[in-house]
Chain A
């Protein structure tokens, strides 16, 4: 069975600090996709990134970066110079082989960024 663990339930930082959200996954599949979603208070899940199991290149998008390490089954997410607008719950998710429409989500990490 697949499993995604986000051990950090809640993180509080002061604006401009860097913050890393951890994600560890378990799967027996050799082909899979990993995702990060952001859920602001409005409730909508906002897609941030998709990474396939064969691509271990790190990715940077503006203040966001992702570190995928297959050897440790981790897919961590770093926000550089955090801003108040980054406050949200962040979810890491794992797809089953052959479909991105059946996701196993972690329990989420609530990020609070204050002034």
Chain B
């Protein structure tokens, strides 16, 4: 069974630009969550999508948004990039049940110049 696939693996942007990251969940998984990992703040929850609807949200500004498609694939968008957005962005999927563990992808490493 293929794992969670995130593209691209690496991305370099400049301040003020916007970026879109993609995540394909494990086949059959309907929940997709996004996390930001930085050396200073650690792993922080961004949001979760389930059946194309945002089900949970973390404490990030509105510049961070996401969506989920009917095939459960998800995209995350960050607008007006700031230096502090440099991070590893991890996507995780699960079947969607209340306490089923998430399975993570390799992440997209975003660098802001």
Instruction: Known pairs A101-B56, A108-B42; list 11 more (Cβ under 8 Å).
Output: A43-B106, A44-B107, A47-B101, A98-B98, A99-B55, A99-B56, A100-B101, A100-B102, A101-B33, A103-B102, A106-B42
Whether B31 and A101, one on each chain, are in contact in the complex, defined by CB atoms closer than 8 angstroms, is: yes
Whether B98 and A47, one on each chain, are in contact in the complex, defined by CB atoms closer than 8 angstroms, is: no
Closest partner residue, chain A, to B33 (CB atom): A101
Query: What count of chain B residues pass the 8 Å CB interface test?
Result: 28
A-B contact pairs, 6 of them (CB 8 A): A43-B109, A101-B33, A101-B56, A102-B48, A103-B35, A103-B45
CB < 8 Å neighbour of A99 from B44, B58, B98: B98
Closest partner residue, chain B, to A106 (CB atom): B42
Q: B23 on the interface (CB 8 Å rule)?
A: no
The interface size bin for chain A is: 20 to 34
Which residues of A (97-115) have their CB < 8 Å from a CB of B? 98-108
Whether A47 and B48, one on each chain, are in contact in the complex, defined by CB atoms closer than 8 angstroms, is: no
| Total A-B Cβ pairs within 8 A | 67
Q: Given that A45-B90, A91-B43, A105-B42 are known contacts, is A100 also in contact with B104, CB under 8 Å in the complex?
A: no
Contact residues of B with A, CB < 8 Å? 3, 31, 33, 35, 42-45, 48, 50, 55-56, 58, 88, 90, 92, 94, 98-107, 109
Whether B45 and A45, one on each chain, are in contact in the complex, defined by CB atoms closer than 8 angstroms, is: no
Task: Report how far A93 CA is from B31 CA in the complex, Å.
Answer: 18
Task: Report how far A104 CA is from B107 CA in the complex, Å.
Answer: 18
